[in-house]
């Protein structure tokens, strides 16, 4: 007996709708569970809803530097300002460029506005300080005497906190144009053995015993592994005179330092760039060019550091009180006003360090062009108004569905509920994950999404009703109407998502919240229609209430004006009159 031929599933096949429903139910349960496990059950609100302060900064050129305002420096400024305001304990701060020379800083409520104004309005502080001692970032045992720049130190684990916290590159610097070995070797974090009193003349540290002991105790108590500890150390270091020693943390917090007086300042750097060097197989490097004054000072300090033992032969690059990198000098003074830092860089890490050095050197300052304070009460009123508008829109959609579609409105409302659950939980989880904040335009995007989602259901329902009008029963109508409805829904949602994506890319600020929410809800509409609405209709088509076309089901053939089923007519048998006569 021949095996039956295998072919494609017929258009009227019902498939396995239970599996699709199980997938989306499991996804909703997982998202709700993740929301409660994370401890975040409400969306993170933006400044316009939660209240706070908004600053508009305008970049200014200074005499002699007409081209300081460029994309690279503006992006670096955003990074520096964001690190500053977050150092105030404001993890929800929003810092972004607006146009070629403006930066918008949004700081939610609970922040000292005066302190934030001072932080965002000042130019970056970049210093080159000699390293007196360094160790791991956590608290250490208080020494019996002060750290000594001349004491020997055992080698510990490599410092992975350099290069802006990348933890990968090991910087090495050489003089430009001279065939010499590496002058600045890979960073290593020695464990300090503070047993001798430093020479005040060499290091610039105070020679009084009480001051040395206090510095040693502060160094031992400093905990750079916590955000609060790094913020406090950075603030204190940024407010310390360049001529005084200071305590500092690496940007990742895995190392802490005692640094001597500043020998070279950021304004002494003329330029810095990220370059791929293939001649000596060095890979990505950072080239520094000093001005005449800086070249002399850099040559002097590298000449002095090369005579010291580790870690006193290292200098730290300190940006806003945090150590960005601390290369080690092992051979000769670097003269000529040009140096190269190399060793283990990636393209991104070398570009980051070059931008830090360039920005610290460029005279790019900011004026606060505008400052707006939004009260929490005003934000609450706006949120309440937005929710009321959304509730009214949802109520009107439900009323229309009930009046026009009757029983089918239950399917639409269940689908809307599934979409609402997915949207809400994802927005809540995106707050701590990527910093998404629900602002008023985002609320408007969610309201607009109600109409987009309902439109998808209506397209599918109308396709089913068209099939019933053609004389088909409900189960075949559900399956035959789906391919046409699916195509229309996908095209419509694609256009909506494309518009949201373009709007998100070309706009800045709060309008991006509208675009992001619109795009998110459009994607979820596709998920809900495919995994919830269609399978649910397949299951309901098997129930007598819908399958038999109950008048309140919304699928009554009589109300829809259905045609009678098309049937083939058998040809009539020939009668006597039709029998041909014989000739």
The Cα–Cα gap between 528 and 522 comes to: 10
The pLDDT score that the predictor gives to residue 423 is 92
3-state secondary structure 51-70: CEEEEEEEEECCCCCCCCCC
The Cα–Cα gap between 337 and 175 comes to: 9
Split at pLDDT 50, 70, 90, the class of 529 is very high
**117 vs 226, which has greater pLDDT?**
226
**359 vs 181, which has greater pLDDT?**
359
**Range 329-345 average pLDDT:** 73
Whether 365 has a pLDDT exceeding 90, the answer reads: no
Split at pLDDT 50, 70, 90, the class of 321 is confident
The pLDDT score that the predictor gives to residue 322 is 84
The pLDDT score that the predictor gives to residue 208 is 55
Whether 177 has a pLDDT exceeding 60, the answer reads: no
Tokens (6 digits) for 252: 């990742």
**Range 254-278 average pLDDT:** 83
Tokens (6 digits) for 472: 């088909």
Is the four-CA dihedral 222, 228, 232, 238 of positive or negative sign? positive
Whether 332 has a pLDDT exceeding 80, the answer reads: no
The Cα–Cα gap between 260 and 239 comes to: 15
- Is the backbone of residue 28 left (phi > 0), alpha (psi -120 to 50) or beta? alpha
How do residues 7-30 score in pLDDT, each as one tens digit?
Answer: 444 443 446 888 889 999 999 999
The pLDDT score that the predictor gives to residue 535 is 92
Picking from 115, 150, 346, the residue whose alpha carbon sits closest to that of residue 238 is 115
Contacts of 355 (CB under 8 A, 6+ apart): 72, 73, 75, 76, 272
Tokens (6 digits) for 148: 């000594």
Split at pLDDT 50, 70, 90, the class of 524 is very high
Considering only 64-78, 256-270, 399-413, 530-544, which range has the smallest mean pLDDT? 64-78
Whether 323 has a pLDDT exceeding 70, the answer reads: yes
Whether 567 has a pLDDT exceeding 60, the answer reads: no
The Cα–Cα gap between 285 and 283 comes to: 6
* Rounded to 5°, angle at Cα 119 from 117 and 123: 115
Contact (Cβ atoms closer than 8 angstroms) between residue 59 and residue 103: yes
**Range 200-227 average pLDDT:** 70
**322 vs 3, which has greater pLDDT?**
322
**Range 522-534 average pLDDT:** 92
The pLDDT score that the predictor gives to residue 509 is 62
Q: pTM for the whole thing?
A: 0.54
Name the average pLDDT for the chain. 75
Report in angstroms the alpha-carbon separations of 416 from 51, 172, 456, 541: 31, 59, 11, 20
Contacts of 137 (CB under 8 A, 6+ apart): 161, 223, 224, 225, 249, 250, 252, 253, 254, 255, 256
Whether 540 has a pLDDT exceeding 70, the answer reads: yes
The pLDDT score that the predictor gives to residue 377 is 59
**Range 119-127 average pLDDT:** 67
Split at pLDDT 50, 70, 90, the class of 194 is very low
The pLDDT score that the predictor gives to residue 528 is 93
């Amino acid at each position: 007996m021949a095996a039956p031929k295998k072919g494609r599933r017929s258009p009227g096949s019902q498939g396995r709708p239970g599996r699709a429903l199980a997938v989306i139910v499991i996804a909703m349960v997982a998202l709700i569970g993740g929301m409660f496990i994370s401890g975040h059950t409400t969306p993170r609100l933006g400044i316009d809803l939660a209240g706070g302060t908004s600053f508009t900064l305008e970049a200014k050129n200074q005499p002699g530097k007409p081209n300081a305002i460029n994309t690279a420096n503006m992006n670096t400024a955003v990074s520096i300002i964001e690190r500053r305001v977050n150092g105030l304990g404001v993890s929800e701060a929003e810092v972004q460029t607006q146009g070629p020379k403006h930066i918008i800083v949004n700081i939610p409520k609970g922040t000292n506005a005066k302190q934030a104004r001072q932080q965002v309005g000042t130019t970056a502080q970049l210093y080159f300080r000699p390293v007196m001692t360094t160790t791991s970032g956590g608290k250490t045992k208080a020494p019996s005497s002060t750290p000594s720049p001349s004491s020997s130190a055992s080698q510990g684990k490599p410092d992975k906190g350099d290069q802006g916290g990348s933890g990968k590159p090991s910087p090495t610097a050489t003089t430009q144009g001279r065939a010499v070995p590496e002058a600045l070797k890979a960073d290593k974090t020695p464990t300090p053995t503070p047993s001798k009193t430093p020479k005040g003349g060499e290091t610039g540290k105070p020679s009084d015993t009480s001051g040395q002991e206090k510095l040693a105790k502060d160094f031992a108590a400093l905990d750079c592994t916590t955000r609060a500890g790094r913020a406090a150390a950075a603030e204190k270091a940024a407010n310390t005179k360049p001529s005084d020693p200071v305590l500092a943390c690496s940007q990742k917090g895995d190392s802490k330092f005692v640094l001597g007086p500043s020998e070279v300042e950021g304004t002494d750097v003329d330029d810095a760039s990220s370059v791929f060097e293939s001649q000596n197989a060095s890979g990505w490097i950072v080239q520094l060019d000093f001005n005449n004054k800086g070249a002399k000072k850099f040559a002097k300090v590298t000449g002095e550091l090369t005579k010291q033992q580790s870690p006193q032969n290292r200098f730290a690059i300190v940006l806003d009180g945090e150590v960005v990198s601390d290369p080690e000098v092992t051979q000769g003074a670097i003269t000529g006003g040009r140096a190269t830092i190399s060793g283990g860089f990636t393209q991104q890490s070398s570009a980051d360090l070059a931008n830090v050095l360039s920005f610290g050197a460029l005279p790019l300052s900011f004026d606060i062009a505008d400052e707006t304070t939004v009260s929490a009460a005003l934000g609450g009123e706006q949120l309440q108004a937005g929710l009321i508008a959304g509730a009214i829109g949802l109520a009107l959609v439900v009323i229309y569905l009930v009046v026009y579609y009757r029983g089918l409105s239950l399917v639409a409302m269940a689908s809307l509920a599934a979409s609402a659950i997915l949207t809400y939980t994802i927005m809540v989880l995106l707050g701590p994950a990527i910093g998404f904040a629900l602002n008023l335009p985002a609320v408007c995007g969610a309201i607009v999404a109600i109409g987009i989602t309902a439109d998808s259901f209506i397209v599918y329902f109308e396709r089913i009703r068209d099939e019933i009008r053609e004389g088909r029963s409900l189960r075949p109508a559900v399956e035959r109407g789906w391919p046409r409805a699916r195509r229309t829904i996908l095209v419509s949602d694609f256009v909506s998502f494309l518009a949201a994506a373009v709007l998100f890319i070309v706009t800045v600020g709060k309008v991006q919240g509208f675009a992001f929410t619109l795009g998110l809800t459009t994607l979820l509409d596709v998920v809900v229609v495919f995994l919830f609405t269609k399978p649910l209709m397949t299951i309901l088509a098997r129930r007598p209430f819908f399958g038999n076309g109950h008048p309140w089901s919304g699928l009554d053939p009589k109300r829809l004006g259905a045609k009678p089923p098309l049937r083939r007519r058998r040809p009539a048998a020939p009668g006597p009159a039709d029998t041909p006569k014989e000739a």
